[in-house]
A and B are shown apart, each in its own frame.
Chain A
Amino acid sequence: MSWTWFHKLGSPKWFFQFASRWSLGVFLSGVVLLLIGLVWGLAFAPEDYQQGNSFRIIYIHVPAAILAQSCYLGLGVAGFVFLVWQMKMAPIFIKSVAPLGALVALIALVSGAIWGKPTWGTWWVWDARLTSVLVLFLLYMGVIAIQNSLEDKILADKAVAVIGVVGLINLPIIKYSVEWWNTLHQPATFKLTEKPAMPMEMWLPLLISSLGLYLFIAGLAMLRMQTEVLNRERRSSWVKEEVLKNGI
């Protein structure tokens, strides 16, 4: 197996050129898919037989919750890569994705609370699922806080990589919290092995808005990483050339 892609990915210059070509396209296709999924889900998908229209918040809640976990998985993997191979791109990835992950985690928590009030009858209970997602949000906040508060940038990169790797333990807890313990939260909507327990006109817009949010966040992450690459590599000759040639 060829490892060149792995080494290429580790080169800030190569990543910058790759991202300049793709970031805007990925971001815009994310916006388009997200709009299609949300409009379809919020306006045209059928309502639920028990919950009526309040069920529609699923089209915001589930994509945000999926993304919150996926971003953290990325954070953990990048942390591991940085601690083992000292790849330059890994801390750039962590620094750029952490605020995005925190944002989607917050959206998942808030939309869940808004959904919970009319259906369950409460904004919040300390059940295993809700609490473990709150911990996920706090982990993101911890990563952001440490990255920004440590003066020594090399130390900061190492510290957030460690939090990223250790925080991975939380992901299976979130995933299986609804199965291991009694919770108020219902089991997962999307499973890898089974068809979702809803008709196609309900899950198709959900799938589209989830994919849309993936692309949306990926595009934003690439844009943020480009900025971070330029900032960190500002003393190298290729950045000087790039800035002189294309402006900032």
Chain B
Amino acid sequence: MHPVRKKRIIAISSIVVILGLALALVMYALQQNINLFYSPTQIVNGEAPKDVMLRAGGMVVEGSVKRDNETLSVSFEVTDFTETVRIEYKGILPDLFREGQGIVAQGKLNANGTMIASEVLAKHDEEYMSPEIAEALKQSELNSTSSNTSY
């Protein structure tokens, strides 16, 4: 290969590598700001500041959703399977909100470590299936658990 071209390849590659490293360091330093939400573990460990707008995310705990009969108030717990955080919200929840679903809530933590949310967003995963398959899976799960319990 021509020496001039070789020199150019080395120069360009090193520029890209150095810029990439610089950017990687910046992103590493700002990791907490790039993360969209705090996990329940971080909140329980006190890593999240109180009385500041922030987001908390996790899975809605089965059976933890309590709805107020008179108003739109709703309260539920989210978990990352290590710790749980209670979230209180007043408003209309997204269609995908349900128990066992990942959600991200924006709001402020109060002194008790409960989040007073002003916005609740639903996450979904990259698994898609048709209602029939989902139904069949549920059935087979039910069957296997009932057959297990019958022993």
Question: Is the CB–CB distance between A49 and B122 below 8 Å?
Answer: no
Partner of A165, one of B16, B27, B34: B16
- Give the interface segment out of A67-75, A139-147, A176-184, A215-223: A176-184
Q: B residues within 8 A CB of A198?
A: 127-129
Give chain B nearest CB distance to A171 CB in angstroms.
Answer: 11
- Give the interface segment out of A27-35, A93-101, A105-113, A119-127: A119-127
Give chain A nearest CB distance to B149 CB in angstroms.
Answer: 26
Q: A residues within 8 A CB of B131?
A: 46-49
Give chain A nearest CB distance to B25 CB in angstroms.
Answer: 13
Q: Is A244 an interface residue (CB 8 A)?
A: no
Give chain A nearest CB distance to B37 CB in angstroms.
Answer: 5
Q: Is B142 an interface residue (CB 8 A)?
A: no
- Give the interface segment out of B5-13, B66-74, B107-115: B5-13
Question: Is the CB–CB distance between B12 and A80 below 8 Å?
Answer: yes
Question: Is the CB–CB distance between B124 and A83 below 8 Å?
Answer: no
**Complex Cα–Cα for A121 and B128 (A):** 19
Taking A85-B5, A166-B19 as contacts, is the C-beta distance between A121 and B120 under 8 angstroms? yes
**1/0 contact trace for B16-50 toward A, CB 8 Å?**
10011001000100010011110100000000000
Q: Is A237 an interface residue (CB 8 A)?
A: no
**1/0 contact trace for A186-200 toward B, CB 8 Å?**
111100000011110
**Complex Cα–Cα for A47 and B132 (A):** 10
Q: A residues within 8 A CB of B20?
A: 169
Taking A118-B95, A119-B96, A184-B123 as contacts, is the C-beta distance between A49 and B16 under 8 angstroms? no
- Give the interface segment out of A11-19, A50-58, A148-156, A224-232: A50-58
Residue of B nearest to A203 (CB): B128
Question: What is the interface of chain A mostly: helix, strand, loop, or mixed?
Answer: loop
Q: Is A128 an interface residue (CB 8 A)?
A: yes
Partner of A49, one of B27, B120, B133: B133
The listed residue with most A CB atoms (<10 A of its CB), out of B8, B31, B124, is: B124
Q: Is A202 an interface residue (CB 8 A)?
A: yes
Taking A80-B12, A84-B12 as contacts, is the C-beta distance between A197 and B122 under 8 angstroms? no
Partner of A128, one of B23, B34, B119, B126: B34
**Complex Cα–Cα for A122 and B130 (A):** 24
Q: Is A168 an interface residue (CB 8 A)?
A: yes
Question: What is the interface of chain B mostly: helix, strand, loop, or mixed?
Answer: mixed
Question: Is the CB–CB distance between B34 and A83 below 8 Å?
Answer: no
Q: B residues within 8 A CB of A84?
A: 5, 8-9, 12
Residue of B nearest to A189 (CB): B126
The listed residue with most B CB atoms (<10 A of its CB), out of A165, A169, A189, is: A169
Taking A48-B128, A50-B96, A122-B121 as contacts, is the C-beta distance between A128 and B36 under 8 angstroms? yes
Taking A47-B131, A168-B16, A169-B23 as contacts, is the C-beta distance between A186 and B124 under 8 angstroms? yes
Q: A residues within 8 A CB of B5?
A: 84-85
Taking A169-B20, A199-B133 as contacts, is the C-beta distance between A51 and B126 under 8 angstroms? no
Q: B residues within 8 A CB of A49?
A: 129-131, 133-135
Q: B residues within 8 A CB of A122?
A: 119, 121
**Complex Cα–Cα for A187 and B102 (A):** 13
Residue of A nearest to B16 (CB): A165
Query: Which residues of B are in contact with A by a Cβ distance under 8 Å?
Result: 5, 8-9, 12, 15-16, 19-20, 23, 27, 31, 34-37, 39, 57, 93-96, 104, 119-135
Known: A46-B131, A118-B95. 15 other contacts (CB 8 A): A48-B130, A50-B96, A83-B12, A119-B122, A120-B122, A165-B16, A166-B15, A166-B19, A169-B16, A182-B39, A184-B104, A186-B123, A186-B125, A188-B126, A189-B126
Q: Sort A-B residue pairs by CB-CB distance and give the 6 closest, nearest first.
A: A46-B130, A121-B94, A49-B134, A197-B127, A198-B128, A127-B36
